[in-house]
C-alpha cells in the first residue's frame, strides 16, 4: 500500500540511510530526513528489518568528515550523520515507530568479481570476519561468504579495483594482515531447456521415515529476472496443502537454485509447482523441502547455460591509437556499438566479457603510451562460450 508523506515538520519522521562510513572507532550513518523531525537520544524503527534502533547522537557534517557539529534535532530536508544504529545498512529506512513507512529501496547491481582472502594468522580470523561484515554493511555492492566446500573466505565486488580498495582498507585502516587470492569471475547459471519432473523424499531421519513427492516444471525466463516460484496446484490440492508444506517446497526450490551444476547461483528461472503427494503420517515440511531440492538438482543436470558478466566500456583515445585499441578489444570478444569524435579524441563504446578485461588497464596503457582513459561498469549477464563451461566442468580435451 502506498502512502503520501509530505516533506513537512508536522508529518511523522522518515529518513533514508544513504551511506555508512565505517572505521576502527565505529560507524557513522548518513541520513536524508524526508519528513518530520528527530532528536538525538531517540528510538526509531527500521521497517525493512523489523528492528528498533537508537540514535545516540546527531551531527551536521561538512566536507571534511572529521569536522562535525553536534545537533539536538534534525528536520525535514536535512542531511545529517548519526551514531547508534546496529542493524541498519545502506538503503534502509528509519521512521517513527508509531507511523511505519518504507521508502523506495536503492537497487544495487550484482557482484561480478570474487577474490579469496585469508588471515595470515589464526588470531586474525575473528577480526577479519568482523571487518568484512563492517565493510558489507556500509557498501551493499560488497559481499563475502565462507565457501562450504573449500573453507575459503570469498569476497565479491563490482570489479578488481573495487576489491583492491577494500583490501587496502582491511590492511591499512583496520590493520588486519591477510593474503589475497587471484580475482575470478562470478558466473551465473540458467536453465537451457524446459523440464517437468518429480522429486521424491523417502528416507530415515532420526529414526523416523520421511516421505513426500513434488512435481515441478522449470523454464528459462528471458531477460534479467529473479527466480520466480508459482503455485499451480489443482484447486483441491491447493486448499488442502498445509501452508508449512508449501513454504518448505519453495525453500527447497530456492535452496536447490542457490548453487547450480557448476556451483554458481541459478538465475532467470520460473519454477511452477504442478502436483504433490502427501503421505498421511510420513510427510513433513523437511520431507517436502528435500523432495523439492532433489527435483531441482535433477532438472539442472546436463541442462544449464553458463552466464558470464558483460561490462559496459567507454574508452577515450587519441585518433592515432584507434586502430590498435579497436583490434585489442575485438580480440577480447568485445562488441563495439558506437564510435564518437571530439577533436583529436575518439571514444569507443563497447560491451565486453569481464573475464577478458582483468588486465585491460595495463594493456590499454601500453597500446596508447599512457594517453587513453576508460570507464567500465557491469551491464548484464550473457551466455558464455561453450569452452568456458567445459573448462569449469573439467571436460577440456
CATH class of 308-382: alpha beta
Q: What is the CATH number of domain 113-187?
A: 3.30.70.870
Q: Is pLDDT above 80 for 223? A: no
Q: 105 pLDDT exceeds 90?
A: no
Q: Other C-beta atoms within 10 Å of 241: how many?
A: 17
Buried/exposed code over 50-68 (b: 16+ C-beta within 10 A; e: otherwise): eeebebebbbebeeeeeeb
pLDDT tens column, 141-170: 999 988 776 778 999 998 888 999 999 999
Q: In CATH terms, is domain 14-95 a member of 2.40.30.10?
A: yes
Q: What pLDDT is stored for residue 165 in this prediction?
A: 93
Instruction: Give the number of other CB atoms < 10 A from CB of residue 72.
Output: 9
Residues sharing a CB contact under 8 Å with residue 262, sequence separation 6 or more, in sequence order: 187, 189, 304, 306, 389, 392, 393
Confidence class for position 106, pLDDT limits 50, 70, 90: confident
CB 230 within 8 A of CB 271: yes
pLDDT in tens, 61-102: 877 767 778 999 999 999 999 999 988 989 999 999 999 999
Helices and strands: H and E segment counts in the chain? 8, 24
* Residue extents of the structural domains in the chain: 14-95, 113-187, 190-305, 308-382
Q: Residue 27: is its pLDDT beyond 80?
A: yes
> pLDDT-derived band of residue 103, with 50, 70 and 90 as boundaries?
very high
Same CATH topology for 113-187 and 308-382? yes
| CB contact at 8 A, 87 and 93 | no
DSSP 68-98: EEEESEEETT-EEEEE--SS--TT-EEE-TT
**Banded pLDDT at 208 (limits 50, 70, 90):** confident
CB 349 within 8 A of CB 339: yes
Q: Which CATH architecture has domain 190-305?
A: 2-Layer Sandwich (3.30)
Distance of alpha carbon 167 from alpha carbon 164, whole angstroms: 5
Amino acid at each position: 500500500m502506498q502512502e503520501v508523506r509530505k516533506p513537512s515538520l508536522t508529518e511523522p519522521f522518515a529518513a533514508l540511510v544513504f551511506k555508512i562510513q565505517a572505521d576502527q572507532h565505529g560507524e557513522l550513518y548518513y541520513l536524508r530526513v524526508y519528513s518530520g523531525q528527530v532528536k538525538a537520544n531517540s528510538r526509531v524503527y527500521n521497517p525493512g528489518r523489523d528492528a528498533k534502533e537508537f540514535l545516540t547522537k546527531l551531527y551536521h557534517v561538512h566536507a571534511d568528515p572529521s569536522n562535525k557539529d553536534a545537533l539536538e534535532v534534525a528536520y525535514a530536508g536535512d542531511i545529517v550523520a548519526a551514531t547508534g544504529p546496529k542493524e541498519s545498512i545502506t538503503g534502509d529506512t528509519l521512521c517513527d515507530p508509531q507511523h511505519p513507512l518504507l521508502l523506495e529501496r536503492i537497487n544495487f547491481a550484482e557482484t561480478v568479481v570474487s577474490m579469496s582472502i585469508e588471515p595470515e594468522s589464526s588470531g586474525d580470523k575473528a577480526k577479519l570476519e568482523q571487518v568484512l561484515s563492517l565493510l558489507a554493511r556500509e557498501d551493499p555492492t560488497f559481499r563475502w561468504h565462507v565457501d562450504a566446500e573449500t573453507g575459503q573466505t570469498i569476497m565479491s565486488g563490482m570489479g578488481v579495483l573495487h576489491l583492491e580498495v577494500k583490501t587496502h582498507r582491511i590492511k591499512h585502516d583496520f590493520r588486519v594482515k591477510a593474503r589475497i587470492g587471484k580475482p575470478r569471475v562470478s558466473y551465473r547459471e540458467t536453465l537451457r531447456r524446459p523440464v517437468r519432473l518429480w522429486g521424491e523424499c523417502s528416507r530415515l531421519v532420526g529414526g523416523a521415515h520421511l516421505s513426500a513427492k513434488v512435481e515441478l516444471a522449470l523454464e528459462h525466463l528471458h531477460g534479467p529476472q529473479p527466480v520466480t516460484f508459482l503455485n499451480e496446484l489443482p484447486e483441491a490440492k491447493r486448499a488442502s496443502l498445509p501452508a508449512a508444506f508449501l513454504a518448505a517446497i519453495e525453500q527447497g526450490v530456492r535452496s536447490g537454485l542457490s548453487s547450480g551444476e557448476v556451483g554458481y547461483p541459478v538465475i532467470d528461472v520460473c519454477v511452477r509447482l504442478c502436483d504433490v503427494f502427501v503421505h498421511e503420517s510420513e510427510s513433513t515440511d523437511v520431507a517436502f523441502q528435500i523432495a523439492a531440492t532433489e527435483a531441482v538438482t535433477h532438472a539442472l543436470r546436463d541442462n544449464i547455460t553458463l552466464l558470464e558478466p558483460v561490462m559496459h566500456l567507454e574508452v577515450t583515445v587519441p585518433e592515432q591509437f584507434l586502430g590498435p585499441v579497436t583490434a585489442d578489444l575485438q580480440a577480447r570478444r568485445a562488441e563495439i556499438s558506437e564510435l564518437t569524435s571530439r577533436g583529436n579524441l575518439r571514444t569507443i563504446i563497447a560491451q565486453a566479457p569481464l573475464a577478458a578485461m582483468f588486465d585491460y588497464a595495463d594493456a590499454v596503457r601500453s597500446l596508447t603510451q599512457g594517453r587513453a582513459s576508460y570507464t567500465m561498469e557491469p551491464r548484464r549477464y550473457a551466455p558464455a562460450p561453450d569452452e568456458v563451461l567445459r573448462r569449469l566442468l573439467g571436460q577440456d580435451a
